[in-house]
Structure 1
């Protein structure tokens, strides 16, 4: 059994100004996506300014979609009690699925403006996402969020305010799978030209499988509990369409043209 490291959620405190680790992790994810996108910008024939515009659109999609998605799927009661809670992002509470929809909307708008095929753009974006996902899970861990179910595995941790029972560090599992493993697979897979939609489909499939699996050891959201069959969580319910959609997209992409890149391998 391990003890939780008890990291202060506030990274920097200067008088009334407080900078939370959770927010810094999002900043790390956005900066990483920006840097990686610049490395591969010529694949889509994008200028540096266009890449920065794309990242700005995606950042807005993540923040607005993520927060609205969390309020819709997990926090309607809190929102009803205090509408201003919606803006307290530093306290945690972002939905991946909401942010995912927000990024899709941002990609659709950008693709139309740049006259790009939608899946050509999402294939470009997909390998940029996992570092942000991984950084966000580290933020969850520091914020005491997403504790796992009680367990006796050697690496189980006793979380603050969660009683004496050791639990799975489920946010670290998600960091490893959704962050490290997913990034490594997608970045390697997308080095060579692929058919339009293949990389996007692989992202949907792998993320869906990773998230669905970890939910079995992650404590269900207290305000929701299990929502179907006595074992299915909201995260699993929202992830199922991603798994199915990923499989369909991979099959569909077999009949699409290969996206010949405009630059050498990144």
Structure 2
């Protein structure tokens, strides 16, 4: 057994390696689970089978995130060696694909257990930002999801800890720590949606929709600084998907309040 045998490996047990990437993803999922469970209980669903839901969501989400990533990198990374598609431990998950894959299953699960979808969305979706924030640190360890080349003076001006600065020295150049930008913004988004904005937008479903608005805006901005984006021709796929997320979220909020007004007439 070896603890921290390399930069990317957290624990080595004989032939089995537990990577930092996996630790970050699972830690984020677990913390999001704790918040979600409490928030579901606050909404009257203390008996909700959250463990079953979480396990299935993790599996579907990881598969969806991997498929999304592989689709847009197949010709450059996997066409010559397709078996590498299954090497998830090396990185290569696109969270937007995971969210898209999970949503239909989540709706089905909620209906099956007679749970209000809007209340469940309010309870769960903001906490996904926590999972995403911690997952970005897995990208940091793998030295992926990095930004454009910058000077050492530029990165020093950010006043980052030395371990982040050294981790952003990739292939002979310092890079924008875009993983950190997104991680911080995701945590901020969770706090604002769950504890600030929710005081003003109290309609069921608004926090659910705000996740898409916040993450869409965050990802669109951060993606502008990244240099390893998934591309659709000359378009950054994450930015295109982010625009869709924002539009869907805004329309959903407008609809929720229009429906409220119509019902009160």
TM-score when scaled to structure 2?
Answer: 0.83
SS in 2 for 1:8: coil
1:36 is the counterpart of 2:35: yes
SS in 2 for 1:166: strand
Indicate the structure whose relative CO is greater, using CA pairs within 8 Å and at least 6 residues apart.
Answer: 1
Q: Which stretch of structure 1 is more off in the superposition, 131-140 or 192-201?
A: 192-201
Contact 2:194 2:207 in 1 (8 A): no
1:202 is the counterpart of 2:210: yes
TM-score when scaled to structure 1?
Answer: 0.82
2:185 pairs, out of 166, 172, 177, with 177
C-alpha change, 1:8 and 1:48, in structure 2 (3 Å) is farther
Structure 2: state its 5+ residue gaps: 1-5
Task: Please name the residue that 1:241 is paired with.
Answer: 244
Task: Please name the residue that 2:171 is paired with.
Answer: 162
* CA distance in 1 between partners of 2:199 and 2:81 (Å): 47
* CA distance in 2 between partners of 1:75 and 1:125 (Å): 32
Report the RMSD for the aligned CA atoms in angstroms: 2.5
1:153-172: CA deviation from partner (whole Å, max 9, x where unpaired): 22384634422x32211111
Task: Please name the residue that 1:82 is paired with.
Answer: 81
Task: Please name the residue that 2:3 is paired with.
Answer: none
Q: In proportion to residue count, which structure has more helix?
A: 2
1:103 is the counterpart of 2:98: no
* CA distance in 2 between partners of 1:57 and 1:120 (Å): 20
* CA distance in 1 between partners of 2:116 and 2:8 (Å): 41
* CA distance in 1 between partners of 2:48 and 2:249 (Å): 31
C-alpha change, 1:191 and 1:15, in structure 2 (3 Å) is farther
1:92 is the counterpart of 2:91: yes
1:213 pairs, out of 204, 218, 221, with 221
Contact 1:38 1:48 in 2 (8 A): no
